[in-house]
Amino acid sequence: MNMDRVFIEDLRIQTVIGIFDWEREITQTISLDLQMAFNIARAAESDDIVDTLDYKAVSKRLIQFVEASEFQLVESLAEHCANIVLEEFPVTWLQLKLSKPGAVRGSSAVGVIIERGQA
C-alpha cells in the first residue's frame, strides 16, 4: 500500500505559549512541520486543485488557531493542531512536529513529534 504524503515545513506562527509568568505576557514563535497522508493519485491525474489536499488552507487554519491560542504546554498545542487537521481535512494520518525555538539555551529548538490517525 502506498502512502502519499503532503507536507508543510517550518510554518512559523506567533503565539502565547509557556508556563512561566513572563511567557504569558509575550508572544513567541513556534514552528510546525506536518506530514499528512493523502492519496495524490486523483490530483496527479486531473491536475486540478479540487482533487488534492489544499496545504494553503491547512496552513491558514492552523495559523488562525495557533495565533489565538494561549496554551501552557507544547504537548497540548500539538494535540489540538493534530485534531483540527484530522477533523477538518481529508487526512487519514499525520505526523506533526511542534518546535519552540530558543526555549533551551544551547539548542536551536525543543518540542514534540506526534503521530495521529483516524480511528
Domain ranges of the chain: 5-117
Please tell us whether the domain made up of 5-117 is placed in CATH 3.40.1440.60: no
| Residue numbers of the chain with a pLDDT score lower than 70 | 1-2, 119
State the pLDDT at residue 2: 66
- Position of cell 486523483? 42
Report the C-alpha gap between 14 and 67 in whole angstroms: 6
Active site residues: 100
Q: What does the pLDDT look like over 80-99, one tens digit per residue? A: 999 999 999 999 999 999 99
Report the C-alpha gap between 78 and 96 in whole angstroms: 7
What sign does the CA torsion over 54, 56, 57, 58 have?
positive
State the pLDDT at residue 3: 84
State the pLDDT at residue 118: 84
Residue 102 DSSP code: T
Report the C-alpha gap between 95 and 106 in whole angstroms: 26
State the pLDDT at residue 103: 86
